[in-house]
Amino acid sequence: MIRVELTHTFPVSVADAFSYITDTGNWKEFFPNFVRLHDPVHAKWDSPGDEVSVVIRLLGREVEVQMVLNQVEKDSRVTYVSRQQGLPDASHERHFKAVPEGFEFRPVVAFNPRSGIAGLFDRFLLKRAIAGALHKTIENLETVFEQQRSRT
């Protein structure tokens, strides 16, 4: 199992951050390479079993990623699985923790690499791509939360 995770503290309340990050209407602001929700009218993301399909730009083309919500602990944790053609399924965790400075955010992605040549791709390139996407998510959230603070 390959596991990639980051931890970052933001000067925002955990309740505000949780509400913002779990709202599919906000994903275009911070989700790396986000193009659109496949079916925004029916997108629901607040109870275990909810499913959404996200279209992202990957290597110059649009790719659909199916996401199934497994667990939601308000202001604390969200877990889900993503599936996309040609890649291994990935387990995602989003941890939210109140700290004196605001909230600590810890996104985690884990997957089992495939066998053979595809496994080499997974162990090196996919792992790096996931780490890059998590870093970009943090950067994008920094921008979003800074803009929100500037407005108040």
Q: What domain range includes position 102? A: 2-32+73-151
Find residue 65's DSSP bridge partners: 54
Q: Band of the pLDDT at 149, cuts 50, 70, 90?
A: confident
Greatest Cα pair distance, the chain, in angstroms, is 53
Has residue 37 been placed in a domain? no
CATH of the domain at 78: 3.30.530.20
Check residue 91 and report its DSSP letter.
E
pLDDT tens digits for range 95-115: 999 999 999 999 999 999 999
The phi-psi region of residue 40 (left if phi > 0; otherwise alpha if psi is between -120 and 50; otherwise beta) is alpha
Q: What is the pLDDT of residue 152?
A: 62
pLDDT tens digits for range 25-79: 999 999 999 999 998 888 889 999 999 999 998 767 899 999 999 999 999 999 9
Average pLDDT, the chain: 94
How many structural domains compose the chain? 1
Has residue 60 been placed in a domain? no
Has residue 56 been placed in a domain? no
Contact assessment for residue 83 and residue 65, using Cβ atoms and an 8 Å cutoff: yes
pLDDT tens digits for range 105-142: 999 999 999 999 999 999 999 999 999 999 999 999 99
126-to-38, 53, 78, 130, 141 alpha-carbon distances in Å: 23, 20, 22, 6, 22
Q: What is the pLDDT of residue 77?
A: 98
Separation CA 81–CA 66 (nearest Å): 8
Has residue 145 been placed in a domain? yes
